[in-house]
Structure 1
């Protein structure tokens, strides 16, 4: 009898803990904030000195692959004394706290959800600076991944009702209903969205498995392929004009993983052959061993006279939603 009573009490306590956790999760308000905007919670004297400079060197470094310099993130400095209420709901927060043992902590959903909070503590200014520099890559990746996830979440609210991409290319990719199919063949799609001063564009196509050979010349192979695709499919407004890669700008290239598959990421500047248009592009060539092919997904923007960072983040968010069947 005592065992039954003990078991009954244990179950009650367990359920109470679960209910309390669920209640706490429900109490969190939705996070807010513009895309690529980070709130930095730091005292004014630290922000205006070497600590602030170290933070800015990491978080406002220029984005590679844009025609003009634009920072990775837009920073909003907030003194701890006024960090309360609505401002705590920002989606990405970096907290700097002095006079505590040196440490860095990555947490989520502290004040709102979804939310990423990075807290850095140190007994001295130099300790804080050292932690910022030592963890620069992880800090940037944490905030960028949060922004990509947020952009994907926003686009899911109004998804494009496409079906032909899955039917023809055997993959799914999520983009908003504001985009339209501009051109479609059996294995090629050009998807566009009108923006304030131009367009955001997405290309999806497949290539034979022998088209790309992973070696020292892979980036050259990819550039030749995208130039041939541009000449064939991405024509300008005047006859004889088409999209090519800007040769004067060295592309960024790295090996990565997309949809749990080997992929090559290439960033650079596109140009209009025999014309006067241009802008940034990001290209992923994904190895699809099962279907013995390469799937190429590229985003490029035409947005003269305006900043392009956020447009490119949206395109990258779309690309990273791909699921190859």
Structure 2
């Protein structure tokens, strides 16, 4: 009997929708399709134990750079042997189940487009924890990058801004139609999007290799350049006020890649000198080897009422579409 129950739990996803109309009805107003949501199919005993704790630790960690705690992924656990039709069309699915065979598998687009299903199996809690530890980074990256690509694909491109950026900076960036041009300088462009009670902002400019690598202090140099640009262009309503990187906290900084080009990623909070506005920012300096410079795209959000995670995520998706021409 135990073998039969185990089989049903692990493979209950194989049933399909009865017809296309049912599938359309399921997709409409489906909470399992929310941005950065992961559906976790797991027995309640595992969810309430060390395995569940490890899943929450890895997938629901706070987003770096936000004052208020917001999780990277919203987890939607399902503890029954039956997988609801609404959940089956989730873009990100993690199945964790006891099994006599220990393995991790990955299936794409089984029940819906843009879908990733990871299944972790193990004969006991210790093995499942080991599977999670080994596979969590790959799974996180797959889910996260898939969500970035999906978000960007939903938006129409602002062709006018797209061409302007290409001509001005010799880079290709997929700017959604909702963004419009703000200030412009010789080596500077400010793009904005109104979002409810606030706005999303993208600053694009360049810096030489020597400016970033001066004395090999990349973080300090990146902060200095950001503050210099902000002081010149991002001015507040109060006389003499301008945006600066928050002084009380050191930013998160690490090396990454964008479209096969080395990039430095910096995250933290901004504030205004002589004013009270504040919010989070992400800053990517993308190395352009051909021209011995960095393309820097700085995204900062201002929205005092609403959560900031989704605002930053959208700007990250835009920045990571950058291709050096």
For 1:82 and 1:243, how far apart are their aligned partners in 2? Answer: 52
Aligned counterpart, 2:76? 76
For 1:161 and 1:49, how far apart are their aligned partners in 2? Answer: 53
For 1:233 and 1:125, how far apart are their aligned partners in 2? Answer: 55
Aligned counterpart, 1:3? none
Deviation at 1:111, TM superposition (A): 1.2
Change (3 A) 1:213 1:281: same
Deviation at 1:218, TM superposition (A): 0.5
| CA contact 1:160–1:178 (8 Å) conserved in 2 | no
| CA contact 2:157–2:174 (8 Å) conserved in 1 | no
Deviation at 1:77, TM superposition (A): 0.7
Structure 1 unaligned spans of 5+: 1-26
| CA contact 2:158–2:179 (8 Å) conserved in 1 | no
For 1:57 and 1:160, how far apart are their aligned partners in 2? Answer: 41
Aligned counterpart, 1:51? 51
1:242-321 alignment to 2 at 5 Å?
A: 242-321=242-321
Change (3 A) 1:34 1:258: same
For 1:261 and 1:99, how far apart are their aligned partners in 2? Answer: 42
| CA contact 1:104–1:120 (8 Å) conserved in 2 | yes
| CA contact 2:204–2:298 (8 Å) conserved in 1 | yes
For 2:274 and 2:57, how far apart are their aligned partners in 1? Answer: 39
Change (3 A) 1:160 1:275: farther
| CA contact 1:62–1:70 (8 Å) conserved in 2 | yes
Deviation at 1:176, TM superposition (A): 1.2
1:48-93 CA-to-partner distances (Å, cap 9, x unmatched) read 2222111111111111111122111111111342314232001111
TM-score (structure 1 length as normaliser) = 0.86
Deviation at 1:99, TM superposition (A): 2.2
Aligned counterpart, 1:161? 160
Residue 313 of structure 2 aligns to a residue in which SS?
helix
Change (3 A) 1:214 1:255: farther
TM-score (structure 2 length as normaliser) = 0.86
Deviation at 1:136, TM superposition (A): 2.4
Q: Do structure 1's residue 172 and structure 2's residue 139 form an aligned pair?
A: no
User: Highest CA radius of gyration, 1 or 2?
Assistant: 1
Aligned counterpart, 2:217? 217
Change (3 A) 1:100 1:239: farther
Between stretches 311-320 and 134-143, larger displacement belongs to 134-143
1:186-213 CA-to-partner distances (Å, cap 9, x unmatched) read 3211111111221111111112332211
Aligned counterpart, 1:88? 88
- Runs (4+) of structure 1 moved beyond 6 Å? 29-32
For 2:60 and 2:256, how far apart are their aligned partners in 1? Answer: 24
Residue 213 of structure 2 aligns to a residue in which SS?
coil
For 1:60 and 1:264, how far apart are their aligned partners in 2? Answer: 24
1:2-151 alignment to 2 at 5 Å?
A: 33-151=33-151
Residue 160 of structure 2 aligns to a residue in which SS?
coil
Residue 82 of structure 1 aligns to a residue in which SS?
coil
Between stretches 284-293 and 311-320, larger displacement belongs to 284-293
Aligned counterpart, 1:231? 231
Change (3 A) 1:216 1:210: closer
Residue 81 of structure 2 aligns to a residue in which SS?
helix
